[in-house]
Amino acid sequence: MKRMKLSISRGIPRFVFILGVLSLICILSFKFYSLKPFLILDTKHIYSTNSHLSNRPQIDILDTVIKNIEHEMTNIRDSQEESPHALRYASFLADILGLIESAKSGGPEPEVVTGSNRSQLAHISPEFFLTEEIRKYIRIKPNRLGKQNFMGANGTFTSIGHACFSMKQELEEYMNYDVGDICNDDWKLAQRLMVHGCDPLPRRRCFSRAPQLYTKPFPFPESIWSLPDDKNVRWSQYKCKNFACLAASNTSKGFFKCSDCFNLTHHENPRWVIPVYPDPASNSTPDFRITDILDLKPGEIRIGLDFSVGTGTFAARMREHNVTMVSATINLGAPFSEMMALRGIIPIYMTINQRLPFFDNTLDLIHTTRFLDGWIDFVLLDFVLYDWDRVLRPGGLLWIDSFFCLKEDLEAYLEGFKMLRYKKHKWVVVPKVDKDDDREVFFSAVLEKPPRPF
Q: Stretches 73-81, 96-104, 115-123, 132-140: which one binds ligand NAG (CB under 6 A)? A: 115-123
Residue 119 touches ligand NAG, criterion: CB under 6 A: yes
115 versus 180: smaller Cβ distance to ligand NAG:
115
Instruction: Give the torsion through C-alpha atoms of 330, 334, 335, 336, to 10 deg.
Output: -50
**Least distance from C-beta 245 to ligand NAG, angstroms?**
4
Helical segments of 123-264, H only: 132-138, 168-174, 187-195, 243-247
- CA 166 to centroid of chain Cα atoms: 18
**Least distance from C-beta 270 to ligand NAG, angstroms?**
12
Q: Which of 240, 340, 372, 384 binds ligand NAG (CB under 6 A)?
A: 240
112 versus 281: smaller Cβ distance to ligand NAG:
112
Question: Environment class of residue 412 by beta-carbon count within 10 Å: exposed (0-12), middle (13-18) or buried (19+)?
Answer: exposed
Residue 322 touches ligand NAG, criterion: CB under 6 A: yes
Residue 156 touches ligand NAG, criterion: CB under 6 A: no
In three-state secondary structure terms, 427 is: strand
Q: Judge contact between 211 and 226, C-beta under 8 A.
A: no
Q: Which of 39, 248, 296, 420 binds ligand NAG (CB under 6 A)?
A: 248
Residue 249 touches ligand NAG, criterion: CB under 6 A: yes
Interacting positions 406-445 with ligand NAG (CB under 6 A): none
Residue 226 touches ligand NAG, criterion: CB under 6 A: no
For residue 325, the cross-strand partners are 304
Helix axes 84-104, 56-79, angle to 10 degrees: 160
DSSP tag of 452: -
Residue 294 touches ligand NAG, criterion: CB under 6 A: no
Q: Stretches 52-60, 206-214, 260-268, 385-393: which one binds ligand NAG (CB under 6 A)? A: 260-268
Residue 144 touches ligand NAG, criterion: CB under 6 A: no
In three-state secondary structure terms, 329 is: strand
Q: Judge contact between 108 and 11, C-beta under 8 A.
A: yes
CA dist., res. 311 & res. 80, Å (int): 29
Residue 289 touches ligand NAG, criterion: CB under 6 A: no
Q: Which of 5, 67, 188, 321 binds ligand NAG (CB under 6 A)?
A: 321
169 versus 291: smaller Cβ distance to ligand NAG:
291
Residue 141 touches ligand NAG, criterion: CB under 6 A: no
Residue 44 touches ligand NAG, criterion: CB under 6 A: no
Q: Which residue, 318, 306, 273, 266, is CA-closest to 388?
A: 306
Dihedral sign from CA coordinates of 233, 234, 236, 238? negative
Residue 266 touches ligand NAG, criterion: CB under 6 A: yes
Q: Which of 117, 180, 213, 283 binds ligand NAG (CB under 6 A)?
A: 117
Residue-wise DSSP of 390-416: HHEEEEEEEEEEEEEEEHHHHHHHHHH
Residue 224 touches ligand NAG, criterion: CB under 6 A: no
Cis peptide, bond prior to residue 221, ω within 30 of zero: yes
CA dist., res. 449 & res. 388, Å (int): 10
Residue 112 touches ligand NAG, criterion: CB under 6 A: no
9 versus 148: smaller Cβ distance to ligand NAG:
148
Q: At a CB cut-off of 8 Å and minimum separation 6, what does 345 contact?
A: 224, 312, 315, 316, 319, 325, 327
Number of chain positions touching ligand NAG (CB under 6 A): 22
Q: Stretches 194-202, 218-226, 258-266, 432-440: which one binds ligand NAG (CB under 6 A)? A: 258-266
Instruction: Specify the amino acid at residue 65.
Output: V
For residue 363, the cross-strand partners are 392
Residue 237 touches ligand NAG, criterion: CB under 6 A: no
Residue 116 touches ligand NAG, criterion: CB under 6 A: yes
154 versus 237: smaller Cβ distance to ligand NAG:
154
Residue 239 touches ligand NAG, criterion: CB under 6 A: yes
Residue 265 touches ligand NAG, criterion: CB under 6 A: yes
In three-state secondary structure terms, 197 is: coil
Q: Which residues contact ligand NAG (rule: CB under 6 A)?
A: 116-120, 146, 148, 154, 239-240, 245, 247-250, 252-253, 263, 265-266, 321-322
